[in-house]
Structure 1
Amino acid sequence: MVGTVTSQGGALGSAGDSDGWVEELFYSFFKSLVGKDVVVELKNDLSICGTLHSVDQYLNIKLTDISVTDPEKYPHMLSVKNCFIRGSVVRYVQLPADEVDTQLLQDAARKEALQQKQ
């Protein structure tokens, strides 16, 4: 089973938004997955498999040792080994289910929501 994180419509919030805590939560979550294998699906339907090298506060992603899921459709990507993906072009990030501690993630979301209400 694979967990999926979605980012519909671009960024998940910004520093000025009341939902900025959501962005912070995802940032912290993705930082904990550095070094793990993920699949990033872009809004142009390109899916890239690779090892998560880094993520920044804008949810931009750097992948290493990449491959594309459909090399016949994207042959120009065969020679690419590393890539930088702008956060606003990400549709989904697929994660190994055993790498996601859903209880910890839910607890963190609750804590962040309570802090925002105060």
Structure 2
Amino acid sequence: MLFFSFFKSLIGKEVVVELKNDLSITGNLHSVDQYLNLKLNDVSISDPEKYPHLVSVKNCFIRGSVVRYVHLPADEVSLTIYI
């Protein structure tokens, strides 16, 4: 529940989600569920030449089990809230 609560506090913030297939997706976090599935708005892809079919995607749902990393802006993280 710690990660779920943490990601819920980031709703509306811009995050970069790196997937296990090396695709990085940048977007605004719209929602997260208990399985850490993510919904992103205003999506952009890190390598549009490699993934041209994803250039037109503006909103996406990402299954939690395919996420490798979630990169956060440093100014959005406050560890004192969760300790």
TM-score normalised by length of structure 2? 0.97
Please list every run of at least 4 consecutive aligned residues from structure 1 whose deviation after the TM superposition is greater than 6 angstroms: none
Deviations 1:77-111 (A, max 9, x none): 10100000000000000000100002223x1xxxx
Q: What does residue 31 of structure 2 align with?
A: 54
Kindly name which structure, 1 or 2, has the bigger radius of gyration based on alpha carbons. 1
Query: As a proportion of its length, which structure holds more helix?
Result: 1
Correspondences of 1:91-102 after superposition (within 5 Å) = 91-102=68-79
How many residue pairs get aligned? The number is 83
Question: Which whole-Å CA distance do the structure 2 matches of 1:72 and 1:104 have between them?
Answer: 40
Question: Which whole-Å CA distance do the structure 1 matches of 2:77 and 2:34 have between them?
Answer: 20
Question: Which whole-Å CA distance do the structure 2 matches of 1:74 and 1:95 have between them?
Answer: 23
Identity %: 76
| Cα root mean square deviation, aligned | 0.6
Question: Which whole-Å CA distance do the structure 2 matches of 1:88 and 1:69 have between them?
Answer: 20
What one-letter code is carried by the residue in structure 1 that aligns with 2:18? E
Unaligned runs of 5+ in 1: 1-23, 108-118
What one-letter code is carried by the residue in structure 2 that aligns with 1:100? V
Question: Which whole-Å CA distance do the structure 2 matches of 1:88 and 1:103 have between them?
Answer: 28
